[in-house]
């Protein structure tokens, strides 16, 4: 199985949008979102992920087939964090096969930082995924915090993926 994880090109914006519809379909089971008048869930403008230099869209392919996406930005909620994975999705066919673990690790490795991932309380599968991945990949810097404030209510996973020599120098 050949797994490819890379920043999405602007020409792939429609692909990310289409994958976002699948993601929101899965997510509607947790948040109760309904389709709009056009039969879509919709998502606020994705262009910011190609315009803002601190925001990125990633695509995930398996054997040259579209398998998922991730959206990252610098809107963090925990002190010391600098980057966030704000959306992360794999089509069902590729779940449970190590694709998500490899993709998340690759994204965090491409941009060493103090990362955070917010997961809604109702999404136990995602909580289990991030706990397992981060505890295994970065056991000494993994943290899980429950936040209850105006901006966020639920668990936030954080991990420092910078090389240890850099972490100690800061």
Say what the pLDDT of residue 104 is. 97
Say what the pLDDT of residue 8 is. 97
What is the C-alpha separation between 140 and 114, in angstroms, rounded? 13
Angle CA 72–30–33, to nearest 5: 85
Angle CA 13–89–135, to nearest 5: 135
Average pLDDT of the residues in 49-71 = 97
How much of the chain, in percent, has pLDDT values that exceed 90?
Answer: 76
What is the C-alpha separation between 131 and 143, in angstroms, rounded? 9
Q: Are 58 and 105 in contact (CB under 8 A)?
A: no
66: nearest Cα among 86, 42, 90: 90
Does residue 153 register a pLDDT over 80?
Answer: yes
Distance of CA 103 to the CA centre of its chain: 10
Say what the pLDDT of residue 36 is. 84
pLDDT tier, 53 (very low <50, low <70, confident <90, very high otherwise): very high
* Summary mean pLDDT of the chain: 92
Say what the pLDDT of residue 151 is. 87
Say what the pLDDT of residue 156 is. 97
Global confidence as pTM: 0.91
Segment 86-117, tens digit of pLDDT: 999 999 999 999 999 999 999 999 999 999 99
Segment 17-41, tens digit of pLDDT: 999 999 999 988 888 889 888 888 8
What is the C-alpha separation between 130 and 45, in angstroms, rounded? 26
Does residue 167 register a pLDDT over 50?
Answer: no
The sign of the CA dihedral 161, 104, 83, 146 is negative
Which residues contact residue 127 at a Cβ distance below 8 angstroms, ignoring those fewer than 6 apart? 119, 155
């Amino acid at each position: 199985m050949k797994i490819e994880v890379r920043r999405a090109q602007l020409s792939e914006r429609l692909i990310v949008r289409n994958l976002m519809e699948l993601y929101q379909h899965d997510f509607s089971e947790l948040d109760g979102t309904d389709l709009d008048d056009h039969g879509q869930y919709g998502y606020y403008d994705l262009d910011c992920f190609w315009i803002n230099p601190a925001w990125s869209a990633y695509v995930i392919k398996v054997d040259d087939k579209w398998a998922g996406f991730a959206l990252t930005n610098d809107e963090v909620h925990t002190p010391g964090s600098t980057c966030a994975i704000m959306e992360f999705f794999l089509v069902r066919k590729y779940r449970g096969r190590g694709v998500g673990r490899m993709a998340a690790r690759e994204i965090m490795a491409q941009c060493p930082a103090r990362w955070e991932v917010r997961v809604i309380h109702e999404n136990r599968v995602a909580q289990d995924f991030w706990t397992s991945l981060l505890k295994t990949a970065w056991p000494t810097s993994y943290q899980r915090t429950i936040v209850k404030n105006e901006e966020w209510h639920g668990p936030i996973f954080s991990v420092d993926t910078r090389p240890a020599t850099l972490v100690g120098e800061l």
